[in-house]
Structure 1
Amino acid sequence: MAYLLIEEVPACSGFASHQNIQPTYFGKTMNDLLQKRAALENELVTLEIEIPKLQLAWRKMPPTFNHLGNEIGSPESRAAMDAASSAEARARSIPQEIERIDIQIAYRKRVAGISSAADEARSIMVESAGAIKELEAKHLSLSKRLEDTRTCAEEALLKAQAAEQSAASIYTHAVVSENNEQEKTAMAEILKATKQLTNVQENDRRQQLVITALQSESDKTLNLISEAQKRYDDAKSQALETAYLALSVEWDEAIEHLVELGAKIIATRHHNGRSHDGLSAVKLPVLAPGATWPLNHKDLTGRANSISLTSLISA
């Protein structure tokens, strides 16, 4: 059974550098997310208290009638209704915002654990690969022992059966030839061969017990190999996922740098009264969850508008 050696797994140089990182991703740190989540929870609690009050205020608005006597809403009533409806809509949207933030928080926790996760995965791979190698050697030895035992048992049985058949043929020939001496000798050989066959059959019965035990141990070893292979494959998958995560963080950090650089390039053109900046077709994908990217020229232009002439020249 083939297995992937630990050395074949792509190593990621970002593992160590991301051990204790706090990724920003365009200004959103872990603290930013936690504070935003707490603010949303507080806002939701406040809304749950205020909404019944707003609904009651709307219902208490005095009715207004038109010239035909039909009841119509007053400006105050419509304003109260709008306030209640707006609060209800906001309360419905907050759980979704919190869910999106939770996804980003979980992502940052995974990023913070990149190094330990990678070390654990590689350790399991090394351990599993060693176990597989040892178990495969054991299985090979068991298979050879099993084959040798079967072959010896079969050959001994066939040899004893052949000896008995040969003695019987000699006896038959002596009977036909009416040779009493040969008949006595052949009969003695038959008895000897039959006794030998009985002994071989008894030994074969014991050998079959050995064969059964060897087969059982061989099957158990194959199961252990399969289990070790699964541990190896799972750890390999985890190692590669961790490598992907580390590389994704590096990618997003590089994109953040490119965004800053692109915004400055656009700002230099704008401050110089020129519209062409060479970045009109730019698309910069961000891999962190919750991103609405790829960023385009409009996003870079929006950031460029806040860059002053002084900062560009001094840079």
Structure 2
Amino acid sequence: MTTDAELGLRDRLAKLSGVKLLRGTRLSAELERLQRQLERLQDDTSDEEIWRRVELARHQERPYTLDYVGRIMDDFFELHGDRGRMDDHAIVAGIGKLEGRTVALIGHQKGRDLKERTKRNFGMAYPEGYRKAMRVMELADRHRFPLLTLVDTPGAYPGVAAEQHGQGGAIARSQAVMARLGVPTVSVVIGEGGSGGAVAIAVADRVLMQENSIYSVISPEGCAAILWRDASQAKKAASAFRLDAGHCLDLGVIEGIVPEPAGGAQEDPDAAAQLLRESVAAHFAELDGIDAADLRRARRAKFRAMGVFA
């Protein structure tokens, strides 16, 4: 499991990486020192440990969006429907108060028992769900509410009906709307962050991951089925593309890791919610007072720079 020491080093390294100059001197020496320390810690990271994170991210008792909403937000009022076709229950959206400030919230919801999972479609949204999300994004922008999104989905629903309703276009439009928002935005991967279904609501100023969450372009099973034509090689695939929070931070895909209670968020949902609240509130505080145009400019620059190697 990730230690406090490793989390601290990763956080420090991420912050220093964003500072190019300090009184005319590059920070390369400090960055190299921290990187060496982190590499020594990573020597103990095993394939089994990465797969354990996958299992924890999918744990059936892990807190979902509504579990956190009930613990970190006050006066939450859920909004329903896409004003066109239906209300997709895989997406929860609404307005509430977080640490005394009004915020808009959007999140995936998987469901606990078979009946609720069927209703929520296992957290896999239809296009209508993303249209509902866009409706709340635009509401937040209009009224100057910060936006918080909680990501927890294996991916957008891949069925025929979803494709007929314009799944790909809905995901693309949702990303475009988030990129244009002039309010502070924070996204947190709280479980599975799978493919376009996740990134559709994660084009944010700050993207965070809980310690035992995963974030990837494809599921380990899907990757294994493509590369080795054998989904049972999922553990090998997970190890190959390093979908855990620590490696996502190293890659610059996220800005920070939210610690969890020992053993995972499911062991103490109240403590996990407190850690989540503190982290989200701190990032919103950092974004306070930044001009809307500057927010948009920095957000777009951040995502355009991903995957570019100089």
Same fold (TM over 0.5): no
- Shorter-chain TM-score tier: under 0.3
**Structure with higher strand content:** 2
Larger Rg, first or second structure (1 or 2): 1
**Structure with higher helix content:** 1
TM-score normalized by the length of structure 1: 0.19
TM-score normalized by the length of structure 2: 0.20
RCO comparison, higher one (Cα < 8 Å, 6+): 1
